[in-house]
Structures are given as structure tokens and as C-alpha cells.
Structure 1
Amino acid sequence: MTWNKILCNHKELQLFGTLNGGQSFRWTHHKEEDEWRGVFSKTAWRLKQTDDCLQYQVMGSIIDNPSDSKCKSMLQDYFRLSFNLGTYYHEWSEKDELFKSACQQFYGIRMLCQDPVENLFSFICSQNNHISRISSMVDKLCEHYGEKICFFDDYVYYSFPDVEKLAKPEVEAKLRELGFGYRAKFIQKSAAQIVEWGGKEWFKGLQDMKYKDARQELMKLFGIGPKVADCICLMSLNHLEAVPVDTHVYQIAAQNYLPHLRGKKNVTEKMYIEIGDYFRNMYGDLAGWAHTVLFCADLKKFQKKENDDCDAPKQKKKRKK
């Protein structure tokens, strides 16, 4: 199968940091082939890169016969390749010495443009959880409620389920059976709310709102707090000033920018807003993107990338037809 190409310097897109940094949980690195395999837009992809281009193949798709131009457009949108990242990195480095240091290794970190339904329910799974278990839960959602896309290299790829399927009353009990715990109720209840409010059209309305208004609307969903709401705003709704604040981001802020916050046991609502506003004042309209680079630099799994086997998600176990 031929590899298609999109011209893109590796300094403008780093697949490792972008696909392995906790934005999406549907990508797996295959070391022997030095490629990434994953799913977005109901299409299963193989990706790899050289110094000057992004290479891709479509393993399968529910979309009827996606043309090469359509696939290229999908990838350009997904990685937001219309943004000249080098320009922004230069601007952020001028404003912040910590960023200037971090970006030497964490160049080309892209803010993925994800489907809001998949993004929201993936981050419900992320609450009080670690990445391998989050990935497992997302896989279960897809396997039980998504559509089969294709069978490739002894593995079945599924699309992320439509919100209507997750809204059915019996979903909560099934997800509890599958090990989702309290998140099962959050998923079913919030899915039902989204369907009641208009489904995907409701999400489109959030894109047209101001950031803080969209965030407030998201927090009306069952089980959605400030951090998950900010993740959705940032990664799916084009509100790139949104700054999700978790323990990593709190530590970064307290140690490097806001020393009066050091030693706090919990991130209060007031602290959450203060940290987000600080980054927005420093970085501007793309504060959430800039903070993501610092977030990647802070993750322990990236600290020994060159020497450790933990530098990417473990390959998923092969699944029979």
C-alpha cells in the first residue's frame, strides 16, 4: 500500500509529543514500523513522518470512499496545520523563559482538533484515572457502542459511538459491568442531556459562544467540572485560550510563576481561575496551546524518552475477529 504525503517539517509537527501527550487516547505507537495507528473521524489511520513530510495511509473508513484530497483535508484539520507553529513558538519563547527551554525538546506539539462527542466522553473516563486505563475504557466504549471500521494486522478498529447510543438508559448498567464505576452514570446522564439539547448542533452552538459562556454551558452536564469543560473547549470547540488546570499544571504554576500558591493541598475555584488567567495574560488567545507544551515537558514519561521503553503507549493486544 502506497504512503500518501503532506509536506510538513518535523519542527512543525511532532507526532510523538502530540499523540502521546494525553489529548487523545486512540493512538498506539508501533515501534518496529515506527508508525502510529489510530482512529478519528470514523476512519482508521497509519501515520509516520520524515524530516519534511507527514506520511499516511487509510486502513479503513465508514465514510464512503474518502478521496485522497478529503483525507488530506481531514489530517490538516485534525492537526491544525494551518497554524504556523514556529511563529507562535517564537512569540511564546519571547514572553517566557520556561517555555523557551521546554520547546527545545517539545517542538511541534500540535493542539488536536477533535470531535467534541469523543473528546467529552474520553475525558469523563479520565477523571481520577491514568492513561492506560483511560485508553482501555475508551476502547470498550468503541467496541460495544461504535461501528466496526476495519480489521488490520490482527486488530479490529471501531469508530467512537454516536451520542445517541450512549444516552440509552441501559448503558449505565452495562458500563458498570465493564468496570467504569461511577463514570458510567456520568456518561449515560450527560449523553442523555446532550441528545435532549440538540446533539451535535448543541456543540456547534458552543463553538459560536464566547469561551467563558461555552465553559459554563458544558458544566451544566452531569458530572462535568471545570477541568473537563476546559479540555472540551480547548480541544474540540476552538476556544484555544482555555487552560485545563490539573495537579501537573498547578505544580508548574506554583513552582515557576505563582509562588504564593505553593504547598496548597487542593486547587480551589479561586486558584483555578487565577492560574488560567495568568497563562492567558502571558500567552494570549492561544494560551491553552502554549500551556500544553509545558504540560508535556512536565510529564515523567517524556523525561527519559531516549532511554526508556515507556516513551509511548504499549501496543494493544491483538484482538481476533
Structure 2
Amino acid sequence: MPNLTLSLDQPFSLDQSLGCGQVFRWEKGENGWWYGVVGDRVLKIRQDGNHLAFEGANAKFIRHYFTLDIDLEGIVTSFDRDPFIHSAIERCRGLRIIRQPRWECLISYTIATNSNIPTIRRRIGSIAERFGREIAFEDRSFFSFPEPESIACGSEEDLACCKLGYRQPYVFRNASDILDRVAWEEKVSALPYEEGRKELMRRSGIGPKAADCILLFAFERYESFPVDVWIRRIMQQHYLSDLPLASALSRREYDAVREFGREYFGSYCGYAQEYLFGARDA
């Protein structure tokens, strides 16, 4: 398939968006090309200035997946209210929150607890290779992420080869409980933010941070403000000096940081969180 092209009429950074840690099934290859599996397709994409070259999807899909249909400048302007967040915006300019497949995002954050990004990627890849469909692309084998029934039709022990540890039963229970993926997605999507959060936290292995991440990355709830150790550290250093620096993030501290972030940065606080996280090494 020949490369298709798309001209950008708004700020966008492919590297920032795919490399900031919000997605786990993309890898950067030679000559600036990124490869990823989205749904049942393999995508290959590269940015050259204000142009995207890509294979595996049409321009409509690319625009939707990378949220090229939203006013990014208006969003970042809404929370650009102090020198620190301004510097984060400048450093991560063009970062967009990607519209992730919802079921895959749920499982991704089910297995993400107490793990680094390479480990999460490895686990997700193992689940896809064990239960998904093989897709040939450029003489390589990729694997789609499995539907719930592909996991639930067997036994929990079938997941052992994926080396999920204590998260193994969580994945199996969630797959068994959400056999009708579309109905589940529509239910969560229709709920207000706080109710959707409670609904997600009823799922096995889903705590406050995972629920906030799923809402932000898969349900476009930009008023969600996930808090991890990096965000807690940034907020303590620059916004909440009275917050104790502890080795573990308690539920009380999580809620305090989350509520401050939501109030201070406003309705697009989830975007502010991504820019703060992206600039964490600055």
C-alpha cells in the first residue's frame, strides 16, 4: 500500500503524543516511522513538519485517532495560567491525547499497577500474542488486542503465560464480566464523570488512578486528573508545598491532588496533567 499524506492545520507532535506514555502498543522504528496496532489494523506513520505520511488507515481514521479535530490551542490556553505550566506547554507543544480503544485501555490499566512502561508494554503484547489475531505487515507479525470473549472462553490459567502476576485474575474477571463490550462502553460513556469513575472502580483491579486514566484516555473525559508519583512530586514542588513527600501515595493524598488539579486547571485539567507529566524531566 502506498503512503497516504495528510496536511496539518493545527499544532501536532507525533513524537510527543506517542512517546509520552499514554499509549503502550507503539514503537518507533527507522527513519522516524512509528508502528502501532489499533483495533484490528497495523498503522505506520511519520511526521515531516506539517505533514503526516501513513499506511494502514485513511485520513478520517488518523484525524479521529490523534484527535486532530479538536482545538488544541484553545485547550492549552485555558490552563496556561502560571510560568511552570507554561514551560511545560512549550516543551511538549503539539502533544494531543489520543482516542484509545476503550476495552483495551481498561485492560491496559488493569495490569499497569505498580509497573513501569516497558513492563506494561510487554504484558499487553503477551496478551495480544496469546489471544489476539495475527496481522502480517511488512514481513512482520503483529497481533490485535483480543475481544473479551477471546479471553473469557477459556480459563484463568490460560493467562499464566502472559506473566501478569497478581493481576491475572483481574484480567480474567473483567473479560468475563464485559462480554458485551459495546454495551459496557456505551454505559460508561453516558455517565457523568464521577459516576463513570465509580462504575470503573467496581471492576476488578481498577483503583482511583486507573479509573481516571481510563476516563481520560479512552472516554475523552478531559476533566479527569490522574495522579501518580511523578504528578504528586510535581504538584508538591510547584503547587502544594504542604503536601508531605511520602514513599507511597495514600488515598487521601491522591484525592487532595486530584481535586486541586481539577479546580486549578479547569475543565481540561487532564490535558494539563499530560503536559506536566511530559515535562517531568525538565
Using the size of structure 1 for normalisation, the TM-score is: 0.83
User: What amino acid is the match of 1:232?
Assistant: I
Q: Pairwise mapping of residues 84-123 of structure 1 onto structure 2 (< 5 A)?
A: 84-93=71-80, 95-123=81-109
Q: Is the 8 A contact 1:168 1:188 kept in 2?
A: no
Letter in 1 for 2:133: E
Asked if 1:13 corresponds to 2:12, the answer is yes
Partner of 1:319: none
Q: In the alignment, is the contact (CA less than 8 A) between 1:176 and 1:182 conserved in 2?
A: no
Shift of 1:224: 0.9
Specify which of 26, 40, 43 is matched with residue 42 of structure 1: 40
Amino acid paired to 1:135: R
User: What amino acid sits opposite 2:144 in the alignment?
Assistant: S
Question: Which residue of structure 2 lines up, in the alignment, with residue 62 of structure 1?
Answer: none
Answer yes or no: is the 8 Å Cα contact 2:102–2:219 preserved in 1.
Answer: yes
Match of 2:157 among 173, 178, 185: 173
Deviation of residue 55 (structure 1)? 1.6
Task: Find the aligned partners of 1:120 and 1:46 in 2 and give their Cα distance.
Answer: 24
Q: Give the conservation status (yes or no) of the 8 Å contact 1:12–1:84.
A: no
Query: Is the aligned partner of 1:250 residue 2:232?
Result: yes
Shift of 1:34: 1.2
Residue equivalent to 2:2: 2
Number of residue pairs matched by the alignment = 282
**Alignment partner of 1:89: what SS?**
helix
Partner of 2:50: 52
Which residue of structure 1 aligns with residue 218 of structure 2? 236
Q: Distance in 1 between matches of 2:85 and 2:52?
A: 25
Answer whether contact 2:223 2:269 (CA < 8 A) is retained: yes
State the Cα RMSD in Å: 1.6
Once the two structures are aligned, what percentage of the paired residues are identical? 28
Aligned to 2:70: 83
SS of 2:104's equivalent in the other structure is helix
Cα deviation for residue 270 of structure 1 reads 2.3
CA contact (8 A) 1:249 1:295 kept: yes
CA distance in 1, matches of 2:206, 2:74: 34
Query: Which residue does 1:317 correspond to in 2?
Result: none
- Residues 79, 266 of structure 2: 8 Å contact kept: no
Superposed CA deviations along residues 223-256 of structure 1, whole A, max 9, x for unmatched, are: 1111111111111112111111111111111111
Cα deviations by residue, 1:198-243 (Å, 9 ceiling, x for unpaired): 4321111111110000000001111111111111111111211111
Ranges in structure 2 where 5+ consecutive residues have no aligned partner = none
The match for 1:204 is 186
Give 1:166 shift.
1.9
Q: Deviations 1:17-74 (Å, cap 9, x if unpaired)? A: 21111111110101x321101111311011111111222111xxxxxxx6xxxx2121
Q: Deviations over 1:143-199 (max 9, x none)?
A: 11111222324x2011110011122351x212223321111111001211222xx43
**Secondary structure at 2:20 match in 1:** coil
Between the aligned partners of 2:82 and 2:256, the Cα distance in structure 1 is 18
Partner of 2:249: 267
Aligned to 2:148: 163
2:25 aligned partner, one-letter code: R
- In 2, the alpha carbon distance for the partners of 1:273 and 1:130 equals 22
CA distance in 2, matches of 1:201, 1:275: 32
Distance 2:167 2:243 in 1: 30
- TM-score of the aligned structures, taking structure 2 as reference length: 0.94
Instruction: Quote the residue 1:187 is aligned against.
Output: 171
4+ residue stretches of structure 1 with deviation over 3 A? none
Q: State how far apart, in whole Å, the 2-side matches of 1:151 and 1:81 are.
A: 25
2:78/2:268 contact within 8 Å kept? no
Matching residue's letter, 1:52: N
Q: Is the 8 A contact 2:76 2:271 kept in 1?
A: no
Equivalent-residue separation in structure 2 for 1:106 and 1:177 (angstroms): 37
CA distance in 2: counterparts of 1:110 and 1:124, whole angstroms: 23
**Displacement, 1:89?**
2.1
Query: What's 2:197 paired with?
Result: 215
State the SS of the aligned residue for 1:156. strand
Question: For 1:33, what is the secondary structure of its paired residue?
Answer: helix
CA–CA separation in structure 1 for the residues paired with 2:106 and 2:41: 19
